[in-house]
Amino acid sequence: MSQRKSVKRLGTSLPIIKVKTENRNTNVAEHIQADEVKLMFAPRRYVVFSRFNNMDQIHIREYEVKAMKAMGQCEYPTKRGVCLTLKRLKMLTNRLQEIDEQLNLQDETPNYKVHLGAGIYASVGALNGVDLRRYWIPEGQLECLPTKSGIFIPIRQWGSLKEKIAELITSYPHLAEAEECFHQNQMKLVDCRECLPFGWAM
């Protein structure tokens, strides 16, 4: 059963959901802080909603367990993950159907990559899953290349991730109110580092 309580944030009362998920034969209560919500979609993998510098952030991230003398075993975030702004989350949710269609391709190897904002892309390839990753362009080159900063979601975890994202948006409706970037002219497009993180090289 879900338990609801409210905290004050930006002058409004927002629900925080504490969800119990089943990990094999053990019920694991997902960790919650006053300004953080963690929803587990796979063992030690979470959708995390938090605020940093007065900005909403949604992390899709893997955690690892470390032993601390004073606190025992604690989970800490790793570099395996991506950070999404509200616009980037909107880009991802608007393309879930496209991504699902690519995952369902059986007669050919999909080669799909979509820009979510800044240097972050979602891609589907031969590994039968979704790769959420930051890209960059080495000096002197024109093609963007993947970095080590990202997370691969196997197809067996993809459905659970979508469910947790939907659950988060249901609990925090303002997450769905963000809009994708739209520019009326090229001058404004040039100045947008969400749409053109690498300039006209892309």
How many CA atoms lie less than 13 Å away from 3 in the CB half-sphere? 7
Measured from the Cβ of residue 147, the count of other Cβ atoms closer than 10 Å reads 12
Q: What is the pLDDT of residue 105?
A: 83
Q: What is the pLDDT of residue 84?
A: 93
Q: What is the pLDDT of residue 186?
A: 56
Task: Determine what percent of the chain falls in helix, strand and coil, rounding each to the nearest 5.
Answer: 25, 45, 30
Looking at the predicted structure, is the pLDDT value of residue 18 above 70?
no
Q: What distance lies between CA 48 and its chain's CA centroid?
A: 8
CATH number reported for the structural domain that contains residue 190 in this entry: 2.30.31.10
Q: Of 200, 192, 198, 4, which Cα lies nearest the Cα of 85?
A: 192
As given in the structure block, the two tokens for residue 167 are 């659950």
CA–CA separation, 110 and 127 (whole Å): 10
- The residue with greater pLDDT, 56 or 9, is 56
- Under a CB-based contact definition with an 8 Å cutoff, are residues 47 and 28 in contact? no
Domain range for 100 is 3-201
Q: What is the pLDDT of residue 195?
A: 52
Identify the DSSP state of 155. Answer: H
Identify the DSSP state of 143. Answer: S
Give the residues across from 133 on adjacent strands: 121, 150
pTM: 0.72
The model's pLDDT over 132-165, given as tens digits with 9 standing for 90+, comes to 999 888 877 777 888 999 999 999 999 999 999 9
The model's pLDDT over 51-64, given as tens digits with 9 standing for 90+, comes to 888 889 999 999 99
Looking at the predicted structure, is the pLDDT value of residue 113 above 80?
yes
Q: What is the pLDDT of residue 55?
A: 85
Q: Of 63, 58, 57, 60, which Cα lies nearest the Cα of 77?
A: 63
Domain count, the chain: 1
Q: Of 143, 150, 140, which Cα lies nearest the Cα of 116?
A: 150
